[in-house]
């Protein structure tokens, strides 16, 4: 039976962790993810989970402890934000290259500087090339659902890679919404027990993690790691369908919203997708064929599938909630343009940097993006292809 609750995104994720009952959780507090280990330690002290909670002196130590426990065959989880993830970057690569399916709840927050505690995606985007799977959530329900599915994706024998489950800082992490939880036993049965084939302390088996690799082996290791990422796409689809059978909420690589006949489309990730849907609904009421493509799986990037979804779009806006300091486009813009180019698709495309440091994203501001596309249609001139939204020039 479904359980109706009113929870913040952080509470929802912490409750999913409780239902999963991981073996080990090393963690260090940082706003706005601090509540996740805070709630979880309450579950530990109340005996609601069997997890060993490890308080550490930094986020670098947290991820190092995650690597040690996961290498020893223990299902391991942690949470962080912003500079906390940045401090982990050295060992994020180690976790991925060692094929350790650690789960990390990331509450997205701007990287410094200037120092800011509010939402953008600069932390996740900074770690996008570390070899971790990345899932993004629009709302509290999706944050919960993604966490429940995360280990099934990461621990799949064709994948065996760590995974980051993202939600937007304060916008979803601290806002309270009505959501539906699964029963504890349903989640337990869905996630299952973690029984890795190989691990560091397995009796009778000699194995090393993180050894020095000479020239003859590095490329092959990277190639094998890439294959795990490639396999994660189909696994994500399969697990999303299986999750739909127990919850009624099926997930894929992305969500197509009113895209069936869309001539104008916006590609976006995270909480702003809900605002974008309201903008599209208003435009549809006026007869405008507008749609939204909301990215759920950012790593591995589903390029071919996205190109197929956008093949009939004439005018496209790509929304990046980070500044990549490339001057030409943002990270999502780069990925989408590459995907379209490889399929010889040429919609007239604008790329926007928006919502940095928690800057408000409104129906009006996102509607103005579509209005820019209308102007491109009218004049045939893209003008500046990489733009800022709602900024004082």
| Ranges of H-type helices in 291-392 | 303-309, 331-342, 363-379
Q: Report, as ranges of residue numbers, the positions in the chain whose pLDDT lies below 50.
A: none
Per the structure block, which two tokens stand in for 205? Answer: 């088996």
The structure's pTM equals 0.98
- Determine the Cα–Cα distance for residues 17 and 41; give it in Å rounded to an integer: 11
**pLDDT tens digits for 89-110?**
999 999 999 999 999 999 999 9
**pLDDT tens digits for 17-37?**
999 999 999 999 999 999 999
3-247 against 254-388: fold identical: yes
Choices 3.40.50.920, 3.30.300.10, 3.30.70.100, 3.40.50.10190: CATH for 254-388: 3.40.50.920
Per the structure block, which two tokens stand in for 62? Answer: 């947290």
Other C-beta atoms closer than 10 Å to the C-beta of 20 total 23
- Determine the Cα–Cα distance for residues 270 and 297; give it in Å rounded to an integer: 11
- How much is the pLDDT for 338? 98
Based on its alpha-carbon atoms, the radius of gyration of the chain, rounded to whole angstroms, reads 21
Domain spans of the chain, in order of start: 3-247, 254-388
- Determine the Cα–Cα distance for residues 236 and 143; give it in Å rounded to an integer: 15
- How much is the pLDDT for 43? 98
- How much is the pLDDT for 236? 98
- How much is the pLDDT for 211? 85
**pLDDT tens digits for 278-304?**
999 999 999 999 999 999 999 999 999
- How much is the pLDDT for 72? 96
* Third-level CATH fold of 3-247: Rossmann fold (3.40.50)
């Amino acid at each position: 039976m479904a359980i109706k609750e009113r929870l913040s995104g952080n509470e929802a994720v912490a409750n999913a962790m409780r239902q999963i009952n991981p073996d080990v959780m090393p963690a260090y507090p940082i706003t706005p993810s601090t509540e996740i280990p805070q709630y979880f330690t309450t579950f530990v002290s109340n005996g609601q989970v069997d997890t060993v909670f490890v308080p550490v002196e930094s986020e670098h130590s947290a991820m190092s402890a995650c690597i040690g426990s996961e290498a020893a065959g223990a299902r391991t989880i942690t949470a962080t934000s912003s500079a906390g993830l940045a401090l982990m970057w050295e060992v994020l690569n180690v976790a991925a290259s060692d094929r350790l399916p650690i789960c990390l709840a990331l509450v997205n927050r701007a990287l410094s500087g200037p120092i800011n505690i509010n939402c953008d995606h600069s932390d996740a985007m900074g770690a996008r090339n570390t070899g971790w799977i990345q899932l993004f959530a629009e709302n509290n329900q999706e944050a919960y659902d993604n966490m429940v599915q995360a280990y099934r994706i990461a621990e799949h024998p064709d994948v065996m890679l760590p995974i980051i489950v993202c939600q937007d800082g304060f916008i979803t992490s601290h806002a309270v919404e009505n959501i539906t939880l699964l029963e504890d036993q349903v989640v337990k049965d869905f996630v299952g027990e973690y029984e890795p084939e190989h691990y560091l302390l397995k009796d009778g088996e000699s194995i090393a993690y993180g050894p020095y690799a000479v020239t003859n082996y590095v490329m092959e290791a990277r190639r094998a790691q890439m294959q795990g990422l490639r396999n994660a796409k189909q696994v994500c689809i399969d697990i999303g369908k299986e999750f739909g059978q127990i919850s009624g909420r099926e997930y894929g690589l992305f969500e197509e919203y009113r895209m069936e006949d869309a001539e104008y489309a916006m590609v976006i990730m995270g909480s702003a997708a809900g605002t974008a849907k309201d903008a599209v609904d208003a435009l549809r009421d006026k007869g405008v064929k507008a749609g939204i493509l909301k990215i759920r799986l950012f790593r591995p990037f589903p390029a071919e599938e996205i190109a197929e979804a956008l093949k009939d779009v004439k005018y496209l806006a790509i929304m990046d909630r980070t500044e990549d300091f490339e001057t030409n486009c943002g990270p999502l813009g780069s990925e989408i343009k590459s995907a379209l180019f490889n399929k010889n698709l040429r919609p007239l495309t604008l790329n926007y940097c928006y919502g940095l440091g928690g800057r408000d994203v409104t129906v009006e501001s996102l509607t103005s993006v579509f209005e820019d596309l209308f102007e491109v249609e009218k004049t045939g001139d893209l003008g500046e292809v990489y733009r800022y939204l709602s900024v004082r020039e």
